[in-house]
Amino acid sequence: MSTAQRIVVDPITRIEGHLRIEAETDANGKITSAYSAGTMVRGIEIILKGRDPRDAWAFAQRICGVCTLVHGLASVRSVEDALHRAIPTYTIPQNAELIRNLMVAAQYVHDHVMHFYHLHALDWVDVVSALKADPKATSALAQSISSYSKSSPGYFADVQKKVQAFVDQGQLGIFSNAYWGHPAYKLPPEANLMAVAHYLEALAWQRDVVKLHAIFGGKNPHPNFVVGGVPSAISVHTAVENKVGGQSGTAVNMVGLQTVQNVIKQMRDFVDQVYVPDTLAIAGFYKDWGGIGDTGGNFLSFGDLPSKSFWDTDSYMIPRGVILNKDLSKIHPIDLDADNEIQEFINHSWYKYSQGDAQGLHPFKGETELNYTGPKPPYEHLDIEKKYSWLKSPRWQGKPMEVGPLARVLMMYATGHKQTKELVDYTLRTLDVPVTALFSTLGRTAARTLESKILADGMQGWFDSLMANIKAGEVRTFNDQYWDPATWPKHMHGVGLLEAPRGGLSHWINIDDGKISNYQAVVPSTWNAGPRDTLGQPGAYEAALEHNHVMHDPKQPLEILRTIHSFDPCLACAVHVTDPDGEELIQVKVK
């Protein structure tokens, strides 16, 4: 029997950004308390003060390269919402809403597939074990769960040889420094080989599907946006037909739109034939994780993907609302302007509030004053009784929330979304697990897969609507009304909401005399990875780790990684570093 101890995992790898986890265990190795610390300082809000609101998206988008477009669009929406609040007739062209939906959904599917295969799967898949697999048996397994074309014995034998070559040369590279052979790995060698093969397939797939962002946004990462619509002029001709440059030569034309259609098909095929079958196959060996990693049952979704308008929440595919205590029979509304609803607390965060650190602040009144009081690095442990993270602690009506794919799938399930209910019920039947398994590390991982299926299918509908508009002669993608700040009221404020792949994202802006007077970004990984609040309530990461985790070996904390990775952390979104002039602080050269 082991003794009680504190486990430190720093940094958590296979995530975006820098995250430290400390967990205390009892004598049986069970985690009794956990603490999540963002170890990079946040400051993007300071950089944006005094700038032109129309330029804010370009700065905000650089918060993260993985969540490559969501901060840009949330920032644009915040300015548009400020205009709409001040001038209710202000709207965005429908084509722009449809193109935004396509870009956001493409980000989801791309991000979720990459996360599953390249960041999270290695918590469940033993790569080295794949070398023991029988390629013929692997082929039989693959063909039993999917019609995917790349599933012959020869294909899997070639993949096996490739992995063997890496091992023989001591060049495991991306597969090195893992816990291969850990008893928590349960997949047979053939399932491991199949997953490794699809890991490699996903690398090539993701390179192709990002073309959608480049067509509509000019590039990827960080596609272009504009307040008032999208910078995607549409031409019903091709550049070859026109034989001229200008708008027709640079606009989205029929050739580009056909490429978008091809990308949508590629996404749907991979999700249907590879991602969904793999998830169900792997989950079948880890059904016990349907009882591990519960965050407490509170979920929040801002809603997104409007069929009509951003301000018509009834037209959202993903509903807005809050679920409390796992009660799917009641959806609580969100009042974005109520001071006592959405608040950020800093009792355990390295910030300072002008009126004292014990109270929470609504984002419209938010403050960003850095106040590091932690130990001087390097240090053994955090002082968890004091401030211990660069992340704030967002709360809804004083309650911690989980945001992300599970929150959204539960919201759609609870509101009767037909496809969601069918997919969730099918998954529960296939795995033979109760509905309570949704509230877990396994449920969170499955929800990300099911959401990818729902959104990949939804992309076809938005594309068809866009094409119908174009064929009807409606090609407008930008509203230039009130573009000039001289037409704006002296004061405006607004909030740009977006359901990013990792969860509810909100950018809150105050505008005075045409310039940003205050800016606050409350991001998904702040909701999930934030520290304890004034009442001592843990954030989602902390609560999940405190639910039924027993460590086999503290020196190989695979159990911690599984649950933390199930949230798909993005700490660069939750914190950020640069100087007040927006200049880089360090330059790294690789020779």
Which CATH number fits the domain that encloses residue 376?
A: 1.10.645.10
Task: Check residues 66 and 263 and name the one with the higher pLDDT.
Answer: 263
Instruction: Report the alpha-carbon distance of residue 478 to residue 250 in Å, rounded.
Output: 16
Q: What is the pLDDT of residue 484?
A: 96
Q: Which residues lie across from 345 on neighbouring strands?
A: 393
Q: Which of 37-41, 234-238, 434-438, 540-544 has the lowest mean pLDDT?
A: 234-238
311 Cβ contact list (under 8 Å, min separation 6) = 81, 84, 91
Q: Confirm whether 573 is a catalytic residue.
A: yes
Q: What are 292's two structure tokens?
A: 């591990």
DSSP codes joined into one string, 353-375: -TT-TTS-B-GGG----B---SP
Nearest residue to 299 (alpha-carbon basis) of 404, 390, 206: 404
Nearest residue to 469 (alpha-carbon basis) of 217, 97, 215, 77: 97
Instruction: Report the alpha-carbon distance of residue 4 to residue 26 in Å, rounded.
Output: 4
CB burial of residue 201 (10 Å; 0-12, 13-18, 19+)? middle
Let me know if residue 175 belongs to a domain: no
Instruction: Report the alpha-carbon distance of residue 41 to residue 370 in Å, rounded.
Output: 8
**Residues 480-487, mean pLDDT to the nearest whole number:** 96
Residue 121, number of CB atoms within 10 A of its CB: 23
Q: Which of 477-486, 556-565, 571-580 has the lowest mean pLDDT?
A: 571-580
**Tens-place pLDDT, residues 255-299:** 999 999 999 999 999 999 999 999 999 999 999 999 999 999 999
The whole-model pTM stands at 0.93
Q: What is the pLDDT of residue 171?
A: 67
Catalytic residue among 18, 62, 64, 393: 64
- How much of the chain exceeds pLDDT 70, in percent? 92
Q: What is the pLDDT of residue 39?
A: 86
Q: What is the pLDDT of residue 576?
A: 42
Q: Confirm whether 525 is a catalytic residue.
A: yes
Q: Confirm whether 16 is a catalytic residue.
A: yes
**Residues 134-159, mean pLDDT to the nearest whole number:** 97
Catalytic residue among 222, 506, 562, 570: 570
Catalytic residue among 20, 502, 532, 562: 502
**Residues 367-386, mean pLDDT to the nearest whole number:** 93
Which H or E run contains 304?
Answer: strand 304-306
Catalytic residue among 16, 190, 499, 546: 16
Residue 578 confidence (pLDDT) above 50: no
Nearest residue to 403 (alpha-carbon basis) of 237, 575, 525: 525
Name the band, by pLDDT with cuts 50, 70 and 90, for residue 239: low
Q: What is the pLDDT of residue 583?
A: 45
Residue 1 confidence (pLDDT) above 70: no
Catalytic residue among 71, 222, 547, 565: 71
Cis bond before residue 554 (omega within 30° of 0): no
Q: What is the pLDDT of residue 40?
A: 82
Amino acid present at 232:
S
Domain count across the chain:
1
Q: What is the pLDDT of residue 17?
A: 73
**Tens-place pLDDT, residues 399-427:** 999 999 999 999 999 999 999 999 999 99
Let me know if residue 550 belongs to a domain: yes
Q: What is the pLDDT of residue 382?
A: 92
Residue 163 confidence (pLDDT) above 60: yes
The gap from C-alpha 184 to its chain's centroid, in whole angstroms, comes to 26
Let me know if residue 115 belongs to a domain: yes
**Residues 514-519, mean pLDDT to the nearest whole number:** 98
In three-state secondary structure terms, 585 is coil
Q: What is the pLDDT of residue 18?
A: 82
**Residues 346-370, mean pLDDT to the nearest whole number:** 96
Catalytic residue among 525, 542, 546, 559: 525
Amino acid present at 488:
W
Instruction: Report the alpha-carbon distance of residue 519 to residue 49 in Å, rounded.
Output: 7
Let me know if residue 520 belongs to a domain: yes
Q: Confirm whether 67 is a catalytic residue.
A: yes
Let me know if residue 139 belongs to a domain: no
Catalytic residue among 235, 451, 542, 573: 573
Let me know if residue 277 belongs to a domain: yes
Name the band, by pLDDT with cuts 50, 70 and 90, for residue 62: confident
Residue 92 confidence (pLDDT) above 60: yes
Let me know if residue 461 belongs to a domain: yes
Q: Confirm whether 502 is a catalytic residue.
A: yes
Catalytic residue among 67, 146, 444, 532: 67
Q: What is the pLDDT of residue 249?
A: 52
Q: Which residues lie across from 229 on neighbouring strands?
A: 226, 478
Task: Check residues 19 and 414 and name the one with the higher pLDDT.
Answer: 414
Domain span holding position 253: 5-122+207-574
Q: What is the pLDDT of residue 337?
A: 98
Residue 86 confidence (pLDDT) above 90: yes
Task: Check residues 311 and 16 and name the one with the higher pLDDT.
Answer: 311
Q: What is the pLDDT of residue 2?
A: 59
Let me know if residue 189 belongs to a domain: no
- How much of the chain exceeds pLDDT 90, in percent? 82
On whether the CB atoms of residues 96 and 123 are closer than 8 A, the answer is no
SS3 string, 412-443, reads: HHHCCCHHHHHHHHHHHHHHCCCHHHHCCHHH
**Residues 186-198, mean pLDDT to the nearest whole number:** 97
Name the band, by pLDDT with cuts 50, 70 and 90, for residue 246: very low
Q: Find the Cα–Cα–Cα–Cα dihedral 6, 11, 12, 15, rounded to 10°.
A: 160
Amino acid present at 44:
I
Q: What is the pLDDT of residue 179?
A: 85
